[in-house]
Structure 1
């Protein structure tokens, strides 16, 4: 049965008020470098039709377009919907084809698409425009800017009004009932796994309890292992030299440690993934019994993003009910930063940028396009949209407030520097995660040892890597 997709951005984008914008400057003609043409301010009286690649027209106009037109009433919008992109086997290639076919002026991109298109010269360098307009980056989350620059080879080819960071949610009632000390910010992954073992695992199916629960929505059994390894500075593969690096002793230790916790039931193992499952758009949440375990009060801890607040009835006005009708979050809960490694205590690999706005390098309306991108990422849009968004505002001054909860944990860590310049093809990442998931399950079932599994993954991964790199 198909799981329901709840489009939170469309559902929650309501009650917005008109906003006034600050005028800015931008080169009159298109180009990849934002300072190569004659600069002039955008003319309010000029009739411009901007083509915008976005989820759908209604949500764009509600969130941004109608408000933007209170300042520039002569700007009209044509929205190119992205439904075909997120349903595609390769969203990067599908978006590339959409850009070539439709030539939108303003692009809504995933982080992966942004990194790929920045390196291909498809995006306008916003750096000179940001400097000339003195656009406020200082009050944006430094980690967001760092991540954008990392994906853009040191330059800003886009801006992201929101981010999504992983944190550790925990059930305070369960911790107190079992006399277990509460989790803390920047505790290590090893400390997390030790905490998970202090809770009994009981029940069956979706009603089973765990020390640490992992949502089954799009996750694999490899995700936790990869998070722990990358926190240590380990990489699955070296793309520059087309070489797998998964079979080292440090990776072996991580595989063995997590597999032991899967086997004991201290940590939940996500349901077996479907190889042909299409990714949901980043503004959608999959709600099913397997995602509601922690919110229903069954497990002690859960790794989740800001969207987990919604499952607890505390995020952007969105709430769901568990199977028995009880209200999620009816227990006392809180959150801390995602665990770290002692070697990088301020770094996380759990920060992502679901929505990056960029200007097409071939746009004939760069002045208006930049003005729109600037508005979307400015203070006025943040003040109106942040309270109702399922994600985190990139401007911490406008972060959501949930009484008594430590939401600063979402902003406490910086991007993992080891991962900033890693450019593994998405086709490899997906295929290897499925292969690793298969081998981990074999380890847990006792069909194969860790060394044998890693040797198999090294060989299979090398083939997948060479195929992916050869296809670029």
Structure 2
């Protein structure tokens, strides 16, 4: 006989069982709906870790807008994690001593080989050679051939620059690049009766043109050449604009001995000093009262730019300078008293010792796959996307970087100029010397550069010969290299011109 209590117990158990089954069915439906909504294909969300050298929480939004948002939008089953080898905040709050101990390349290596390595690396060209030599990156050539990824449209300069540090193989791709070229004022050359520069000239030829087109005295002086659009530091112009492709070393690979007292250093210093001594390149003093506004005259918004103001016949500048020249033309159309330059552009001059190399060609946003990537398939898909035609079309709107795909390299509307001048020269190969490490081991090395700057100015001022100045630089520099632990407070820190400051984009 079944009592009421037994019947009630059986009924309660059945109800509990039914409730559990119902909850399980609802949970399964919810999970299925979530899975379908997340990737619309039923697959689980996959993680793609993208690494960069420097970064931090405050930079992540910008980084995602620049590099990953569009890819993530088209691939809802991918969760992108941004990882930085060096946190800007840590650098900001660490003491100077702690900062000096950080080895950027070592931090990159940790990010690539640690317990949770990144899949993709967006890296600077400076480190590419070492990363390849240390077998930290996956070779892309087999993947490119397998998927028939189109590289025919890539600017040869970009591919050749990457291959040159990878034994003629591709270990990265760059969707954009930047470069400098030589702008010249057609009117000033016509007035001087001098043939304008052409592509693929060498520096001695450009120096000769600059001397021939220079003329006038005082405030009426026309200068032949400027190494940047602003009046810069002569030493900096020499080291980093003129001589960079020669890869001259101030000291040896161990930072123990100066290497500046040589025939090539002497030739570089002599050539540059000669330009300054003969007023071929302008200085701040030469600008004089360029900003002075006389009664009844409108202020000239381009007074600080000697090329636009018609005071310099040739200037080296990057692609972004075109926007300023456009602005000058627009201003001239509204102001009868102002005349914008009639200009064109040719390749940056080269050195015979380093043909085909430009001093200011940079490969931007190199994308590489970690040799130990946890998600290599999605890593390659991302690299293809960011170096593909759709991405190139978006980036082609920029006036501050150039698309690596020729299809999207077009002059801005209404302009016609020699665009090939920006796409011909390869970047300076990364140095084989770990300069960062040398400076960490000897933090007083900035004094060596400061001595060189002082000696060069003494040469320009005719206080010393080039030979004597280099010999003194060698002697005084060796004293600092051999005295690593002591600082010299009598030497002033070098001044870096604002226009040449490092910009992280």
Residue 122 of structure 2 corresponds to: 108
Aligned partners of 1:91 and 1:311: how far apart in 2? Answer: 41
Aligned partners of 1:172 and 1:405: how far apart in 2? Answer: 12
Aligned partners of 1:386 and 1:86: how far apart in 2? Answer: 35
Q: Which secondary structure state, in structure 1, belongs to the residue aligned with residue 188 of structure 2?
A: helix
Shift of 1:218: 8.4
Alignment of 1:14-413 (within 5 A): 45-53=43-51, 56-80=59-83, 84=88, 93-94=103-104, 96-97=106-107, 100=110, 103-197=117-211, 198-200=213-215, 210-215=223-228, 221-224=235-238, 228-229=242-243, 239=253, 245-268=259-282, 292-313=305-326, 330-342=340-352, 345-402=355-412, 403-413=415-425
Structure 2 contact 183–343 (Cα < 8 Å) conserved: yes
Aligned partners of 1:112 and 1:467: how far apart in 2? Answer: 29
* Gap regions ≥5 residues in structure 1: 1-42, 272-287
Shift of 1:191: 1.9
Shift of 1:399: 1.0
* Gap regions ≥5 residues in structure 2: 1-40, 93-98, 286-300, 440-444, 485-505
- Please list the CA deviations of residues 144-184 of structure 1 after superposition, one character each: whole Å capped at 9, or x if unmatched: 22222333454433211122222101122332333332111
Structure 1 contact 222–436 (Cα < 8 Å) conserved: no
Aligned partners of 1:72 and 1:327: how far apart in 2? Answer: 56
Shift of 1:243: 6.5
- Please list the CA deviations of residues 21-61 of structure 1 after superposition, one character each: whole Å capped at 9, or x if unmatched: xxxxxxxxxxxxxxxxxxxxxx9944123333467444444
Residue 453 of structure 1 corresponds to: 469
Shift of 1:367: 1.7
Structure 2 contact 119–374 (Cα < 8 Å) conserved: yes
Structure 1 contact 387–399 (Cα < 8 Å) conserved: no
Higher strand share: 1
Aligned partners of 1:143 and 1:97: how far apart in 2? Answer: 29
Structure 1 contact 235–246 (Cα < 8 Å) conserved: yes
Aligned partners of 1:256 and 1:266: how far apart in 2? Answer: 14
Higher helix share: 2
Aligned partners of 1:122 and 1:340: how far apart in 2? Answer: 33
1:387 to 1:217, Cα distance in 2 relative to 1, 3 A:
farther
Aligned partners of 2:177 and 2:339: how far apart in 1? Answer: 23
Shift of 1:301: 1.2
Alignment TM-score, normalising by the size of structure 2: 0.65
Structure 1 contact 44–74 (Cα < 8 Å) conserved: no
Alignment TM-score, normalising by the size of structure 1: 0.69
After the TM superposition, which of the residue ranges 82-91 and 345-354 deviates more from structure 2?
82-91
Residue 33 of structure 2 corresponds to: none
Residue 40 of structure 1 corresponds to: none
1:326 to 1:196, Cα distance in 2 relative to 1, 3 A:
farther
Q: CA RMSD in A?
A: 4.5
Aligned partners of 2:68 and 2:270: how far apart in 1? Answer: 51
After the TM superposition, which of the residue ranges 429-438 and 359-368 deviates more from structure 2?
429-438
Q: Which secondary structure state, in structure 1, belongs to the residue aligned with residue 170 of structure 2?
A: coil
Whichever of the two has the greater Rg, that structure is 2
Aligned partners of 1:368 and 1:135: how far apart in 2? Answer: 15
Structure 2 contact 118–374 (Cα < 8 Å) conserved: no
Aligned partners of 1:91 and 1:105: how far apart in 2? Answer: 27
- Please list the CA deviations of residues 400-444 of structure 1 after superposition, one character each: whole Å capped at 9, or x if unmatched: 3142211111122345xxx53641333469946554333211211
After the TM superposition, which of the residue ranges 243-252 and 95-104 deviates more from structure 2?
95-104
Q: Which has the higher contact order (CA 8 A, sep 6+)?
A: 1
1:233 to 1:104, Cα distance in 2 relative to 1, 3 A:
closer
Structure 2 contact 72–80 (Cα < 8 Å) conserved: no
Aligned partners of 1:119 and 1:361: how far apart in 2? Answer: 12
